[in-house]
Structure 1
Amino acid sequence: MTTFTVLADMVENVAGDRVEVSSITRAGAEIHTYEPAPEDLVRGEGADLIMANGLGLEAWFTQFTDNIDAPTATLSDGVETIPISSGGYRGEPNPHAWMSPDNAQVYVDNIAEELGELDPANTEYYAAEAQQYKQRIARIGADLEAELSGLPDSRRALVTCEGAFSYLARDAGLTERYLWAVNAETQATPKQIASVVEFVRANDVPTVFCETTVNDGSQRQVAAESGAELGRSLYVDSLSKAGGPVPTYLDLLRYDTEAISEGLTREEDA
């Protein structure tokens, strides 16, 4: 089992048909504040291994595993983290490390190692599948960076609801600004909104964004007060269902980059 759908898809690409993989949270769930249901615990009792992101992403994870007799693994181990720069989580590592294709290479290596320990008879199979998957991630990572690298300096600012894009922004050379560092159940404070509005105006940011798993009301207010547009909702903590726009991790990276590039070049194309 994995804690959320993005990790489940990554594990499935390495495990192939040798391991049954499922996600604790469903598509569209907000991962930070998730509360495991009794049926989640029932499913977890049959797990041979539970894989989590770590870095404080799953605040509920210990609560879940305390009731389950299964080993756990942290897939972000070995990633070079970026500290959160503001708010109550200031100084703590940003947990959204999978949003960088470079970091994803570390995730995949960890997945292959954990699966090999779980199922030694198929260690070579997992290593080979992991290598192929890493190559696909590397190719899309190069494509994404090339697309975003074409943005002019005046459009190299990414404004989102949650500070979930620090790693992608670093890879693409974008300045990141957000309403809150980690998703919360409430809307942004007036002070947070005013600060982001000031940043958007000062930098002539054409488009601001919000994630699919949170209410975009605060970002709509930012757009209205600053004159920016609200772009397409971005995917971070969850894949879509099979028929949706981002049924896989690689689709998520493609979709977000296209949405960001489209939004940040909007006025140029007008």
Structure 2
Amino acid sequence: MKVWLYRSRRVPLRALALAVAVCATLTACGGTAARAGKPVVLTTFTVLADIARNVAGEHLAVESITKVGAEIHGYEPTPGDIRTAAKADLILDNGLNLEAWFAQFVDDVRVEHVVVSDGITPIPIGEDAYQGKPNPHAWMSPLNVQTYVDNMVRAFEKLDPAHAADFRANATAYKAELQRVHTDLTTTLSVLPPNERALVTCEGAFSYLARDAGLTEKYIWAVNAEQQATPQQIASTIEFVRADRVPAVFCESTVSDAPMQRVVEATGTRFGGTLYVDSLSEADGPVPTYLDLLRHDATTISTALTGRKP
């Protein structure tokens, strides 16, 4: 599925505008959260929603357009999404070209809109059709998400000034947890020799995490796409793993790991496990919160690369 080029079926803007008008006449469109009297914050995917809930605490109702397990890149919005957007008081999106699908109707609703990645220096994607475009996965860095949190605090203070002190206190505590994940990961990986400090994945979704953890990144494809990995992409990855004697490789939860298993078969390296990027899991799953996602990925990566159990 593509980030910048889409073949999805677009919902006509006229139809979306009609949906907004219909929604305004139906009390059901208000939703449980709105009836509770709290300002409604809408995010584009579940990771942002969980981060926002930690900052908002009990004062705001935070909802996500996409559901758990969804592949965020190629999401196809529905008329129901415009109804959800119309009732929100604030919309948060990641930016960096991640949610191009959302742009088709976000400008047609009179709702405050904040890009939470503002202030982050993007890492460009350096190959194929995406060359020079920003890698959108900035949330995979615990350090970057501290900037996300600061942007949310400013937006929430404007939305609900009476609870500004609570938003700031929540943010301080949450940023400390983010810093702890970063510190634990970098400390664990510091024992690796230079050639083994490599993060090999299916998608290039870990550029920011790899940079912050001092890892060399290698991936089969740059962005999740509809076509399978090419022989050239797999061959390049095999060559990298062999040359650097990379001890383990990984793949993401929303795509097939079959191409990476071919790398494993060709090189004799280990498959280190499944990593989570674009979505949280259900409450009883492995990554029900963003901090769980970070800790899961950090533990999976460090255990596989060092051979040491946490």
TM-score (norm. length: structure 2): 0.82
Pick the aligned partner of 1:144 from 145, 168, 185: 185
Q: What corresponds to 2:146 in structure 1?
A: 105
Q: % of aligned pairs identical? A: 58
User: Once the 2 structures are TM-superposed, how far is the Cα of residue 119 of structure 1 from its aligned partner?
Assistant: 1.4
Aligned partners of 1:3 and 1:52 also within 8 Å: yes
Query: Residues 197-236 of structure 1: CA distance to partner in whole angstroms, max 9, x if unpaired?
Result: 1111111112211111112222122222222222211011
Give SS of 1:182's match.
Answer: coil
Partner of 2:275: 234
- Deviating above 4 A after TM superposition, structure 1's stretches of 4 or more consecutive aligned residues are none
Q: Does 1:71 align with 2:112?
A: yes
- Give runs of aligned pairs for residues 20-99 of structure 1, distance below 5 A: 20-99=61-140
1:26-85: CA deviations, max 9, x gaps?
111111111112332222221111100000111212024144332211000001221112
Q: Distance in 2 between matches of 1:207 and 1:38?
A: 43
What corresponds to 1:223 in structure 2? Answer: 264
Q: What aligned pairs does 1:105-184 form with structure 2 within 5 A after superposition?
A: 105-184=146-225
Q: State which structure, 1 or 2, has the greater radius of gyration over its C-alpha atoms.
A: 2
- Native 8 Å contact 1:187 1:217 kept in 2: no
The one-letter amino acid of 1:63's match is: Q
Q: Judging changes above 3 Å, is the alpha-carbon distance between structure 1 residues 47 and 222 closer, same or farther for their aligned structure 2 residues?
A: same
Shift of 1:149: 2.0
> Alpha-carbon deviations, 1:111-167, whole Å to 9, x = none?
000111111222222122111211221122211221222222231111101111111
Q: Does 1:12 align with 2:53?
A: yes
SS at match of 1:88: helix
- Note the residue ranges of structure 1 that are not aligned, 5 or more in a row: none
C-alpha distance in 1 between matches for 2:269 and 2:255 = 20
The answer to which structure has the higher strand fraction is 2
Q: Secondary structure at the match of 2:178?
A: helix
| Counterpart Cα distance in 1 of 2:228 and 2:264 | 15
Q: Structure 1 residues 217, 66: closer, same or farther in 2, change over 3 A?
A: farther
In the other structure, the counterpart of 2:25 is none
Question: Counterparts of 1:70 and 1:137 in 2: how far apart (Å)?
Answer: 30
Give the number of equivalent residue pairs.
Answer: 268
Show structure 2 runs of 5+ residues with no match: 1-41
SS at structure 2 position matched to 1:256: helix
User: Which residue among 215, 220, 238 is the counterpart of 1:197?
Assistant: 238
After TM superposition, give the deviation of residue 22 of structure 1 in Å: 0.9
- Aligned-partner Cα distance in 2 for 1:59–1:49: 18
Specify the code of the residue in structure 1 equivalent to 2:92.
M
Distance 1:143 1:3 in 2: 29
Give me the CA root mean square deviation: 1.6
